[in-house]
Amino acid sequence: MNHKKYKEWIQLFLYDELTQQEAEELNNHLNECNECSAEFEKQKRFISALKNSSLPEADQNLLSEARREFNAALRVEKSKKSTFSFPQINLAEFFFSPLRIAFSGAAVLAVGVIIGFLLFNKQNEIVIPLVEEENSLASLDDRTQIMNLRFIDQDPSDGEIEFTVDAIKPVHIKGKVNDPGIQNILTYSILYEQNPGIRLSAINLIKTNGGQNTDEEIRTALITVAKYDTNLGVRREALKLLRSFPFDSEVREALLYILLNDENSAMRIEAITSLKEISEKGNGFNQDEISAFRENFKKEENNYVKFQMKTVLQENLKNEQ
């Protein structure tokens, strides 16, 4: 008798992976075989015991954080192709080569590279000594933070080993708030900085640039932050600042996304108010927006937002008639 086969089938049966015919064959065997019948009970108890365990679930907070960090990484990925192509620094390898490099480390380095670039462009000032070249020990000092050590060769038999590290060195920067370089650093900070207070300050500093905000990078960063930042205050300030930019289709899509997805009613109010403003200036609401309002009207919990959606839908209905 092939007990091994039936013992395996027991597992498959409990996972609903047997065909009807196989299940019947197993059932017949279990009726006759005490050993396999006992195994069946054991496996059932095992599966049932596993049900009492709860492996971690991806909650909304984690998902939001993952999305925000991914969007930041994506922006680096895109800018890597378009903006940075200096012969001195191989950013393609530098940023994303091994999976094990946590993005946080790379993000901090990215800021370093940008700062280095900005300073480098001023010709007579310092260049950040990023440790990416071989034999860079001389450039390290006691202010340098070392992290993410990655061995390339850890075999000491020939007397040498080889590895890379991420080295971060503090840099003092002073400049005009509307300097494009400063604005660029602030933009990166609102995407990468871990501390929400700093992200908020960076947004406020970008804001002091007033009506001169036409930079595409800043606008895209603000859209990302307004949609995905985990901190409400940061999202809200980003959204407010976004309103000082020309309303184009991307901003409009972002507003709709916030209206439909943000858990905070103040954000949704801000979003629908802005959308109404845009529609009044332009050609009204587009079909996607109307469909989204129709689908989400019942789900909306905030009375003000609900009322605004209802008004839009009623006006749309009138126009159609």
- Considering the rule CB under 8 A, would residue 145 count as an interface residue with other proteins? no
Residue 251 corresponds to which tokens in the numbers above?
A: 């901003």
What is the rounded distance in angstroms from the CA atom of residue 77 to the CA atom of residue 106?
Answer: 11
Residues 11-50, one symbol each (x = binds other proteins by CB under 8 A, - = not), give: xx--x-x------------------------xx-xxxxxx
Per the CB < 8 A criterion, the answer to whether 221 and 201 are in contact is no
Q: Which stretch binds other proteins (CB under 8 A): 7-15, 25-33, 174-182, 274-282?
A: 7-15
Given 20, 53, 194, 303, the residue binding other proteins (CB under 8 A):
53
- Considering the rule CB under 8 A, would residue 58 count as an interface residue with other proteins? yes
Residue among 15 and 299 whose Cβ is closer to other proteins: 15
Helix (H, G, I), strand (E, B) or coil at 274: helix
- Considering the rule CB under 8 A, would residue 176 count as an interface residue with other proteins? no
What is the rounded distance in angstroms from the CA atom of residue 137 to the CA atom of residue 134?
Answer: 8
Given 2, 19, 31, 100, the residue binding other proteins (CB under 8 A):
100
Residue among 29 and 252 whose Cβ is closer to other proteins: 252
- Considering the rule CB under 8 A, would residue 66 count as an interface residue with other proteins? yes
Residue among 139 and 230 whose Cβ is closer to other proteins: 230
Closest C-alpha to 18, from 51, 29, 42: 29
Residue among 49 and 138 whose Cβ is closer to other proteins: 49
Burial 123-159 (b: 16+ CB within 10 A, else e): eeeeebbbbbeeeeeeeeeeeeeeebeeeeeeeeeee
- Considering the rule CB under 8 A, would residue 96 count as an interface residue with other proteins? yes
- Strand-pairing partners, residue 147, are 166
The phi and psi torsions of 188 (rounded to 5 degrees) equal -65, -35
Per the CB < 8 A criterion, the answer to whether 144 and 169 are in contact is yes
Q: How far is the CB of 148 from other proteins (least distance, A)?
A: 8
Find the angle CA(109)-CA(225)-CA(306) to the nearest 5 degrees.
Answer: 170
- Considering the rule CB under 8 A, would residue 67 count as an interface residue with other proteins? yes
- Considering the rule CB under 8 A, would residue 8 count as an interface residue with other proteins? yes
- Considering the rule CB under 8 A, would residue 54 count as an interface residue with other proteins? yes
The DSSP H or E segment spanning 163 is strand 162-168
Q: Which stretch binds other proteins (CB under 8 A): 66-74, 119-127, 134-142, 170-178?
A: 66-74
Q: Which residues contact 83 (CB under 8 A, 6 or more apart)?
A: none
Give how many residues touch other proteins by CB under 8 A: 40
Q: How far is the CB of 92 from other proteins (least distance, A)?
A: 11
Residue 285 corresponds to which tokens in the numbers above?
A: 């609401």
Residues 199-238, one symbol each (x = binds other proteins by CB under 8 A, - = not), give: ----------------------------------------
Q: Which residues contact 65 (CB under 8 A, 6 or more apart)?
A: 230
Residue 114 corresponds to which tokens in the numbers above?
A: 């940008």
Q: How many CA atoms lie within 13 A of 247 on its CB side?
A: 19
Sites for other proteins among residues 279-298 (CB under 8 A): 288, 291
Residues that bind other proteins in the complex, under the rule CB under 8 A: 8, 11-12, 15, 17, 42-43, 45-50, 52-58, 62-63, 65-67, 69-70, 73-74, 77, 96, 99-100, 102-103, 148, 250, 253, 288, 291
